[in-house]
Structure 1
């Protein structure tokens, strides 16, 4: 029953972390933050986790472990709900669009992006709205509450892993801990699986769904201005996290000792006697003994752990591996969106159905190999080393999958389609749109018939339009010259031009190699977890042996 409850809590905590990773780009766009601030929001979880991790691990192991884990699940759920709360107190999402330009008189639904009349330009109003940022009445940016909620979620998640593994190690049969941990981490992979699928669904839904008429939205999920319903995932996982904490309050503090405990030789009784004698020697009165179990005992244990040089090497390894992993996962979808031209919804879907099942299988296989081969400490280290070498090799291979730059007039190419390095232009206003009253800072891309993307229909020199919403098409664009034939009517449609077929193939290769790299990372997962306990236990057994010899 404890394994079932702990597995569900693992799924919830990994679900929450995945939803944050898959929503970080939408949070960045919704609150108008920089990538550095978005990284701070995502890192606030680790900040909250670190504040209480060592204290909970030390004191919680001597208390009612299931109830502490249940309380942590409640706090984690409250933090998730706090994260999504700013959505319900903010105004509707506004973005720059060519449709902010007023239509011609007596021409319903027809817009003239390129106009010589200053009164017809409406770009400045929407630009000012975006630059003003999202703030509440107290003047604090609203993303501060997202940061606080994520930090509270980190505090609540603190006891789940260390105390859960401790409970398993205390009451599992001899040699079965690794197998149980492998099962636990394999089941926990359903969290990222469902999390990325949930993130994919939320990314497809417009942020203000249910509040605005979706027929008036002129951007698509592939647009860099699109913001999905990021708040919905946090609301769902907040409710699930609270529900996950309920079963732990019905699980006892301790279970029946396994059969192996009744077969222990009398040597442990002697060790227990020696330990009691040592305690009587070191602690002359009950107050000192009580102090050793509290803060003094905590610092004493911390000192012994930090004097274990093998454990210190393991911590350094974990520091570098987690630093690279967290940064990679946080901004991977944003990089792939810009580099391969894929929508965040599509990327979350592919990661959920490809990467996460591969990691789940590899984690289970890693635990099975350790149990089948009965690996000791050195064997576990070898398995972990081999898995990380293979994963690193595939990560380096990812750098070989290149994709060409998008052709954006005035940014990467000239308005004639030439390279800016060989044909430099210092202005976004060439002769073709010099008479238009355009905002050079407006990003409302359109794709011309010539395959070049323009920053806005105004900068493309478009003088008329037909259609509505996403079906809007601009005509008579003076900056667009159709190649291979002369055309008096040149047009453009909303959105950036599609990437080439070579880029699409490279994206498929990238995901395949990424799956192989993830497989080897997951293969060493259970070994890495068990290695922590073996290093500490081995060191503590050595200390106890020395004490027995002295006594």
Structure 2
């Protein structure tokens, strides 16, 4: 019969396969599976590499902010440059994804990421050493008593005598542009990894394994951010110029807001990891047979294929799928119809809005969480980063993995996944509101948050930095070199504390005969280097970490079911494009603006700005912790409240479409539970008008 193989042909085909594969015909199936597993391992490692570099960069934003003397809004712009890089290529890469060699495109992306990481490190090697102005540092080699309250104090001679050449050298802080450019390149390189990688997995794995594979890859990839934050904690605790100076001579520690950690070390390592991640993708094929099928075997002009449905039949060479040729003109012509088809899907549109809001909340939180913990709970920035790395991120990994496992184990259909994600997020939001219960008092700083008698005024703006107790000291009222008085009040400098003598040197220097310390009551009128501790604030830290862990676990648990909706609500040929558009919208409308406006609003809560050597404001030295908390937590809660409404809407839309398509299946005599795809020769009028049907009359759930 025409089109069917004779028994002799089938026998010859099997004989050829036996000769080619030896005595084990199933070796070819194992080889196919091994290629898919190799791709999964390579993709997981690329996720690890990009997560490592990304989380490390975010953990170092405070260090970069201090090193280059820039406000949080500019630091947010540097952080947002990653999203700008994504914007430049993401749509093109996602749309052309199925038409190009996806593994090789991912390889190029990883290589570009490595170049970006190395470029970001360049300023460290050309800026010179980092210097800060401190009376203890200036008199580190002197054993004589130092009077801070004196015009002859070392601190009074540092700003007025700089020539043009020295100021030009100080202007090297503008080299932060290199960090921005490197972060932008990382964004360009990262763009193809998620849309092309996820669509590749979904194309060549079975439907029941797809969610599990994707959840596993994302979970393994989360170890990258975990180690990135751990390395960030280590590097934040190392001096920026480690190896260039004697660390024993430093007069400040990592709790000081002038401290700058070794922000550049992790970027070198991240660049190396990204380069290594690019290597395996060069050796992976353009496509694979569907999981469970046998790969095509070629010998001369004969091609034999056996599938699990084929029952040993042979197929002619013409049946072998060939790699489609990419034509730019045809791709451009099909772009807008494909975009219209996506945006005609109301579920996908709501999903996009939800993604934008979640990106805003997530990026804003990750970028400024270490700074929030530092200011709110009186801990060093390195400890805050460490706690995020060892507690928050592992819990997120477990939640993401468990979410994918539950989809596979319980065989959740699309409506069930939507309900699961919605309930998880609503529960997490309720726990999120408890954050506001963990508050901390504002640090008492004379002339800034309290007057020199220790009394808090109704408004910080009514407090003056100078007082009668230091009027004869000729102090710089904009200098930040804090000391802690014996009365428990912090003074912006030993000069402003009115200290007229000292004992010891370096970090052990103790000031005495401080006239302003006596303003608040009897005492020994002494002061030590550094700001005073707020012990009550540290006690609230365990409760905050507990709530943060619970919220992160619940959000991660519902994250994988939510992410799988994008593969179940669009046409199969648009999966890669849909993921790319979703990522693009999240990056552009969430990842790009969030660090900037979060940073700008946080800057509004700053009480004390540093002054650059040649004039102008630098970075913030002290925040109003109460205002900081209200701005930071208030933004997160507001965005997540809007997300709750969208979760409910997307659940309602999916349930309506499910009931409608379920009714159609029963009407057409299709067995229940066979598929969520409904095919009609011509779309109904009401369906077309609503925009729910595809161009070919297919609806996907």
The TM-score range, normalised by the shorter chain, is 0.7 to 0.9
Query: Could you tell me how far 1:27 is from its partner in structure 2?
Result: 0.8
Query: Could you tell me how far 1:425 is from its partner in structure 2?
Result: 6.2
In structure 2, the partner of 1:432 is 469
The separation in 1 between residues aligned to 2:68 and 2:482, in whole angstroms, is: 21
The separation in 1 between residues aligned to 2:292 and 2:460, in whole angstroms, is: 81
In structure 2, the partner of 1:529 is 563
- Inter-CA distance 135–295: structure 2 relative to 1 (3 Å threshold): farther
Paired residues of 2:49 and 2:224 also in contact (CA < 8 A): yes
- Inter-CA distance 315–14: structure 2 relative to 1 (3 Å threshold): same
**2:253 is aligned with 1:216:** no
- Inter-CA distance 117–537: structure 2 relative to 1 (3 Å threshold): same
**Post-superposition CA distance 1:173-221 (Å, at most 9, x none):** 2310001111111111111110110000010001111122222321110
TM-score of the pair, normalised by structure 2:
0.70
In structure 1, the partner of 2:370 is 333
TM-score of the pair, normalised by structure 1:
0.88
**2:83 is aligned with 1:46:** yes
Query: Could you tell me how far 1:538 is from its partner in structure 2?
Result: 7.4
The separation in 2 between residues aligned to 1:223 and 1:47, in whole angstroms, is: 33
The separation in 2 between residues aligned to 1:13 and 1:508, in whole angstroms, is: 30
The separation in 1 between residues aligned to 2:405 and 2:411, in whole angstroms, is: 10
Query: Could you tell me how far 1:257 is from its partner in structure 2?
Result: 2.9
In structure 1, the partner of 2:60 is 23
The separation in 1 between residues aligned to 2:553 and 2:434, in whole angstroms, is: 15
* Paired residue secondary structure (1:212): coil
The separation in 2 between residues aligned to 1:40 and 1:549, in whole angstroms, is: 44
What does 1:338-417 correspond to in 2, within 5 Å?
338-417=375-454
In structure 2, the partner of 1:276 is none
Paired residues of 1:96 and 1:126 also in contact (CA < 8 A): no
Query: Could you tell me how far 1:348 is from its partner in structure 2?
Result: 0.6
Query: Could you tell me how far 1:141 is from its partner in structure 2?
Result: 2.0
**2:98 is aligned with 1:61:** yes
Query: Could you tell me how far 1:123 is from its partner in structure 2?
Result: 4.4
In structure 2, the partner of 1:165 is 198
What does 1:110-509 correspond to in 2, within 5 Å?
110-117=145-152, 121-124=156-159, 135-136=171-172, 141-259=174-292, 262=307, 290=327, 293-421=330-458, 426-481=463-518, 487=523, 489-500=524-535, 502-509=536-543
- Inter-CA distance 417–214: structure 2 relative to 1 (3 Å threshold): same
CA RMSD in angstroms comes to 3.0
- Inter-CA distance 132–112: structure 2 relative to 1 (3 Å threshold): farther
Task: For structure 1, list consecutive stretches of 5 or more residues without a partner in the other structure.
Answer: 266-285
Paired residues of 2:448 and 2:460 also in contact (CA < 8 A): no
- Inter-CA distance 125–341: structure 2 relative to 1 (3 Å threshold): farther
Paired residues of 1:100 and 1:123 also in contact (CA < 8 A): no
Larger Rg belongs to: 2
Query: Could you tell me how far 1:256 is from its partner in structure 2?
Result: 3.2
* Paired residue secondary structure (2:159): helix
Paired residues of 2:403 and 2:560 also in contact (CA < 8 A): yes
User: Larger deviation: 323-332 or 414-423?
Assistant: 414-423
Query: Could you tell me how far 1:324 is from its partner in structure 2?
Result: 1.6
- Inter-CA distance 302–128: structure 2 relative to 1 (3 Å threshold): farther
User: Larger deviation: 525-534 or 228-237?
Assistant: 525-534
Query: Could you tell me how far 1:143 is from its partner in structure 2?
Result: 1.1
The separation in 2 between residues aligned to 1:175 and 1:378, in whole angstroms, is: 16
Query: Could you tell me how far 1:476 is from its partner in structure 2?
Result: 1.8
- Inter-CA distance 350–543: structure 2 relative to 1 (3 Å threshold): same
Paired residues of 1:117 and 1:437 also in contact (CA < 8 A): no
Indicate which of 116, 122, 130 corresponds to 1:85.
122
Query: Could you tell me how far 1:127 is from its partner in structure 2?
Result: 10
The separation in 2 between residues aligned to 1:231 and 1:126, in whole angstroms, is: 32
* Paired residue secondary structure (2:527): strand
In structure 2, the partner of 1:281 is none
- Inter-CA distance 109–142: structure 2 relative to 1 (3 Å threshold): farther
Task: For structure 2, list consecutive stretches of 5 or more residues without a partner in the other structure.
Answer: 1-37, 295-306, 311-323, 575-676, 683-694
